[in-house]
Amino acid sequence: MNEIIIKPIGEIVSPYKTFDDMPIQGKFRENVEAYIELKEEFVPGLRDLDGFSHAYLLYYFNRSNRVTIEGRPFLENQTHGIFAIRSPHRPNHIGLSIVKIIKIEGSKLHFSNVDMLDKTPLLDIKPYIGYFDIRENVKSGWLEKHFENGKIPDNLFLKNKDK
Amino acid sequence: MNEIIIKPIGEIVSPYKTFDDMPIQGKFRENVEAYIELKEEFVPGLRDLDGFSHAYLLYYFNRSNRVTIEGRPFLENQTHGIFAIRSPHRPNHIGLSIVKIIKIEGSKLHFSNVDMLDKTPLLDIKPYIGYFDIRENVKSGWLEKHFENGKIPDNLFLKNKDK
């Protein structure tokens, strides 16, 4: 299997139009909202998702036109392997975010915890299941030294330096 | 953007050869191990991932040849929208698992919490970051009624009924 063809199932409509005003992690902007405009044929697939508080969104980093196998993350000046960071400039350019579901109306899924740009092509939606997805004894590698009392300072999330 | 071409970055070498002996969620089989055989050109991308305890694997459900917009999950006889379940028969056939990193040696990443079949094409690896990925006040929709004292009975995970 050498090439796989995938097709967007919809689009993300986000208030963030450029990298500069977008946070690194949407978890830190609780009050910002966006929505998914799902293609009509996939709308029945949303049934019962409204019982979940959170969902994974898989999407395509369509603004990235390069792959850096070793990249510099937002918090540091040193590089790490692309699989140890969340940079968009990765093989296959697939993005993953956990968002908070606000409401689902027809073909629109409204959510907060936004960290995608406007017009980002959506590839999949999966339910976030606490019992499977919340892990214990988690070590977060190079990121841990940036934690202060278990929290990364909020101001570090206001600019995306890795663009 | 109508079609996107992606290419596997490697392959998963798993002890599970068929759906029947594979668990629904790898979290419940701590002692089973598998490994990723990464293509040579991507090996530098693994640098510093060994500081993380867990990683997301994104992969291609290459054994599924259909899409069911409303499907029946393993625990139930009733159907739900495909975006409210984790079935492989989903638009774009992209799978997502959280695995526990055992060790990284050259082009091989050894892991446990295996729930993929042998020879599954790998699309991406991302670090699991507790501070971003562990959410609070999580509601898990239709799954919650199956929890007993916060746990889904282990025997329910030994057969994949959704094949």
CB B42 within 8 A of CB A91: yes
Out of 2.60.40.1180, 2.40.30.70, 2.40.30.10, 3.50.30.30, the CATH code matching A10-157 is 2.40.30.70
Separation of alpha carbons B38 and B11, rounded Å? 7
Phi, psi (rounded to 5 degrees) for B38:
-85, 145
A37-56 tens-digit pLDDT: 999 999 999 999 999 999 99
Residue B162 is predicted with a pLDDT of: 39
Q: Per the CB < 8 Å rule, is B4 touching A124?
A: no
| Domain segments of chain B as ranges | 10-130+138-157
Q: Per the CB < 8 Å rule, is B60 touching A1?
A: yes
Strand partners, A40: none
Q: Work out the minimum CA distance from B35 to partner chain A, whole angstroms.
A: 15
Residue A102 contacts B where some CB pair is shorter than 8 Å: no
Residue B73 is predicted with a pLDDT of: 86
CB B65 within 8 A of CB B48: no
- Tokens for B73, please give them: 């999950």
Separation of alpha carbons A50 and B142, rounded Å? 10
Separation of alpha carbons B145 and B105, rounded Å? 42
If one compares A145 and B112, the residue with the highest pLDDT of the two is: B112
For B16-70, the DSSP string reads --SGGGS-SSGGG-TT-EEEEEE-GGGGGGGTTGGGBSEEEEEEE-TT-----SE
Among left, alpha and beta (phi > 0; psi -120 to 50; other), residue A50 is: alpha
Q: Under DSSP, is residue B139 helix (H, G, I), strand (E, B) or coil?
A: coil
Strand partners, B23: none
If one compares B77 and B63, the residue with the highest pLDDT of the two is: B63
Q: Per the CB < 8 Å rule, is B141 touching A50?
A: yes
Residue with tokens 């890795």: A162
Residue B133 scores a pLDDT above 90 = yes
pTM (two decimals):
0.92
Residue A157 is predicted with a pLDDT of: 54
- Tokens for B163, please give them: 């094949």
In angstroms, the Cα distances linking A8 to A38, A42, B35, B100, B122 are: 9, 11, 30, 30, 19
A110-148 tens-digit pLDDT: 999 999 999 999 999 999 999 899 999 999 999 888 876
Residue B89 contacts A where some CB pair is shorter than 8 Å: no
Amino acid in the structure at residue A22: M
Q: Is B5 exposed, middle or buried (0-12, 13-18, 19+ CB in 10 A)?
A: exposed
Percent of chain A with pLDDT over 70: 88
CB count in 10 Å sphere of residue B41: 12
Q: B37, B47, B83: best mutation site toward chain A, by most A Cβ within 10 Å?
A: B83
Does domain B10-130+138-157 fall into CATH 2.40.30.70?
Answer: yes
**Chain B residues touching residue A146 (CB < 8 angstroms):** none
Separation of alpha carbons B51 and A84, rounded Å? 9
Of B2, B44, B84, the CB nearest to A48: B84
Q: Work out the minimum CA distance from A161 to partner chain B, whole angstroms.
A: 18
